[in-house]
């Protein structure tokens, strides 16, 4: 990727970092416990440390956000998932259904959302940001 893309990626991670609280980070580390050795967990004190570690173990890259997408999904952070979708559509230029199928659903558990992450469910606002449909309402017993 070009230097401009690298700067955009770093800015994207910085934007995510600013949205992640200390409690969030603890949840993310727990969600990654199979990939982070127990002795490394105390070293990951900031979201930046966490992102750098994930890059080091090749779970995160400029063009592969599937791992953090999965973490944000299982820790119920739709706002961060929206940021990933925005990055993919605006920076990586993923726009057609075939690419959505292959790149937005690389994580096996995300495949169940394939039909929800289609163009029909993404609304692009005037400022270029993406608005997702609201989640389905739960019906009581």
**CA separation (Å) from 42 to 46, 47, 75?**
10, 13, 20
The secondary structure element, H or E, covering residue 81 is: helix 78-90
User: Is the CATH number 3.40.50.300 carried by domain 3-132?
Assistant: no
The pLDDT of residue 43 is: 92
- CA-closest candidate to residue 62, choices 119, 103, 113: 103
Identify the residue with better confidence: 25 or 1: 25
DSSP 19-35: H--HHHHHHHHHHTTTT
Summarised one tens digit per residue, pLDDT across range 30-73 is: 999 999 999 999 999 999 999 999 999 999 998 888 899 999 99
Identify the residue with better confidence: 136 or 90: 90
Domain ranges of the chain: 3-132
The pLDDT of residue 120 is: 46
Identify the residue with better confidence: 15 or 120: 15
Summarised one tens digit per residue, pLDDT across range 79-134 is: 998 898 888 887 767 654 545 455 444 544 555 555 554 444 455 556 666 666 66
């Amino acid at each position: 990727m070009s230097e401009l893309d690298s700067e955009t990626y770093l800015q994207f991670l910085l934007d995510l970092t600013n949205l992640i609280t200390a409690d969030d980070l603890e949840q993310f580390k727990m969600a990654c416990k199979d990939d982070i050795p127990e002795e490394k967990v105390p070293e990951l004190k900031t979201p930046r440390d966490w992102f750098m570690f994930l890059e080091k173990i090749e779970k995160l890259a400029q063009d592969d956000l599937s791992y953090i997408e999965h973490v944000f999904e299982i820790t119920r952070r739709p706002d961060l998932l929206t940021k990933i979708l925005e990055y993919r559509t605006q920076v990586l230029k993923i726009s057609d259904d075939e690419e959505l199928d292959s790149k937005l659903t690389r994580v096996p558990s995300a495949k169940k959302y394939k039909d929800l992450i289609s163009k029909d469910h993404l609304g692009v606002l005037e400022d270029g940001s993406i608005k997702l449909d609201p989640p389905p309402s739960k019906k009581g017993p």
